[in-house]
Amino acid sequence: MLRTTPTTESERPHTRVMVVDDSAVVRGFIVRILESDPSIEVLATCSNGQTAVNQAARIRPDIVILDIEMPVMDGLTALPKILAADPGTRIIMASTLTQKNAEISLEALARGATDYIPKPSASQLNGSDNFKRDLLGKIAALGRRAGVSAQPDIFAKASAKPVEPAFGLRNATLRDPGILAIGSSTGGPQALLALVKALPAEINVPIVIAQHMPATFTTVLAQHLGRASGRPSSEAANGEALAPGRIYLAPGDFHFEIAREGLHLKARLSKTPPENFCRPSVNPLFRSVAQAFGAQSVSVTLTGMGSDGLEGARAIAYAGGAVIAQDEATSVVWGMPGAIANAGLCSAVLPLSAISPYLGTLFRGSRR
């Protein structure tokens, strides 16, 4: 169904959205959430992917909320067709929390979707404040650039003549790196896969990651990280001893911290309150890394909205560790890395493609 709200260009709300879901109940629920924000205009609602493709070519929405399982044409099939009609459109995949849909959502991200959001079941619609907050937050973050630029080139190469940053860079007193900690959120799965695929073999330390993701999705992401990197990769388990060269991902709905116990480095999982509305949060992981490794800490903050990771990065920087952030040009949302960079905590702010080579120099240099 097309919803027409005539506006002139000067009157147009900030972000124009199309909602695609085969359930009329879910469509209505999402529309009510969107219409509660005066900066959002709902241009159209569609019940299948084919209708969405036809409408997208005509109305050119800034953001499409796209269901996965639909009759006539499913979301994964419609995705590239919508992007072909308007490459600047940002697409948020709406998925139920099943392993099958987690796999499809990650495939959609690889094919050009910008983000995903787990949608509540029909029985959970009345108690879904978290979904409302997350959805409006994602649209606010993505809408600032929607319709203006296409998906950022996360594989962009470092410029031959780097632009002088508007923020200060600090010199780390890093010595003999003992761990690599990574935090990410919106756009993070694509960035993580690209980063770990390019990690040099010299990085033979535990690699610990906190990505804002629900349970089930983190299980699937850990498997994808293992395939991309050629390294053993799994969700962290409480009390597990962390081994060099392995990737450990925070499980959905758990904070992930590390602690030294004698000669061993152990994973610690908890359900303490969310930080920055997130569990897992990047802050607890980074803080625990700073406490356990001090000037042997290396952290990387990738694309993500909000400022989660800022306080943890501050602890690592003040301990003398290396703090690296993805640059704005290659980030889907320059919230988390931007907050850390603008706080003057970074030893480097780099395009995604330059981060792994830079890490290689840090780890090789420490062993000379």
- From the candidates 67, 74, 115, 212, give the one annotated as an active-site residue: 212
Identify the CATH class of 15-143.
alpha beta
Q: Does the annotation count 264 as an active-site position?
A: no
Task: Supply 103's token pair.
Answer: 């796999």
Two domains, one topology: 15-143 and 179-365: yes
Among residues 6, 53, 37, 10, which one has the least CA distance to residue 18?
53
Distance CA 318, CA 316 (A): 6
Q: How do the pLDDT tens digits run along the chain, 368 residues long?
A: 444 444 444 455 589 999 999 999 999 999 999 999 999 999 999 999 999 999 999 999 999 999 999 999 999 999 999 999 999 999 999 988 788 989 999 999 999 999 999 887 766 676 678 889 999 999 999 985 443 444 566 555 554 344 445 566 777 777 799 999 999 999 999 999 999 999 999 899 999 999 999 999 999 999 999 999 999 999 999 999 999 999 999 999 999 999 999 889 999 999 999 999 999 999 999 999 999 999 999 999 999 999 999 999 999 999 999 999 999 999 999 999 999 999 999 999 999 999 999 999 999 875 54
Distance CA 166, CA 175 (A): 27
Measure the CA angle with vertex 309, ends 308 and 311; round to 5°: 105
**Residue spans of alpha helices (H) in the chain:** 24-35, 49-59, 75-85, 99-110, 129-143, 188-197, 217-229, 282-293, 310-318, 336-342, 352-365
- From the candidates 95, 105, 184, 185, give the one annotated as an active-site residue: 185
- From the candidates 21, 115, 308, 327, give the one annotated as an active-site residue: 308
Q: Does the annotation count 308 as an active-site position?
A: yes
Measure the CA angle with vertex 108, ends 102 and 111; round to 5°: 150
Distance CA 177, CA 23 (A): 51
Q: Does the annotation count 86 as an active-site position?
A: no
Task: Give residue limits of the domains in the chain.
Answer: 15-143, 179-365
Residue 171, by phi and psi: left (phi above 0), alpha (psi -120 to 50) or beta? beta
Residue range 179-365, CATH number: 3.40.50.180
